[in-house]
Amino acid sequence: MKFSTIAVFATAAFASVYAAPNAIRRRDVNPALVPDFGVARGANPNGTGSCTGLNGILIPCSCPPDRDSFIGSLNANVNAGHMINNPGIGAPFPTGNSKGEQQARISTLLSTLQNLHGPGVGCPAVATVYGVLQQQINALP
């Protein structure tokens, strides 16, 4: 009886330790919570590497990034808890709809955009409508 009890506890302990990494693994963001960029990549190239962004402001023609690669970078940042390419900047991505949660999401989206390839090396905010969305959220009561 003692042996079977010990075996059961040992098996349960092994199973819980083995499953623990999956239990604490973070999840990727819900893509439905990532607004469209609202700006077309490569619009109206001027021959010098610049294209038209939001409100006619010139942006690099490589901006905005491909949506799938952007979401991949966003997932990496959110799962790390900070910008991979700029660790001093946090990467919260709450899923609720309160003003604070929406502000946190937009802030993380903008930080991901602006730090895609290194600290401050990415796409400007005007490569998307995220800055406009941020202003709209900030104006909410």
Q: Residue 25 has what pLDDT?
A: 54
- Can you give the pTM of this predicted structure? 0.81
Other CB atoms within 10 Å distance of the CB of residue 65:
21
Give the whole-angstrom CA distance, residue 56 versus residue 127.
10
More confident residue, 79 or 13: 79
State how far the Cα of 10 lies from the Cα of 113, in Å rounded to an integer: 48
C-alpha–C-alpha distance, residues 130 and 113, integer Å: 10
Q: How confident is the model at residue 23 (pLDDT cuts 50, 70, 90)?
A: very low
What amino acid occupies position 17? V
How many residues are given for the chain?
A: 141
Q: Which residue has the higher pLDDT, 83 or 1?
A: 83
How far is residue 114 CA from its own chain's centroid?
A: 11
Tell me the per-residue pLDDT of 97-111, one tens digit each, with 9 for 90 and over.
Answer: 999 999 999 999 999
CB proximity list for 82: less than 8 A, separation 6 or greater = 88, 89, 90, 91
Whether 26 has a pLDDT exceeding 80, the answer reads no
Reported confidence tier of residue 27, pLDDT bands at 50, 70, 90: confident
Q: What is the mean pLDDT of residues 20-44?
A: 83
- 1-17 pLDDT, tens digit each: 454 444 444 444 444 44
| DSSP at 133 | H
Q: What pLDDT sits at residue 71?
A: 98
> Beta partners for 58?
52
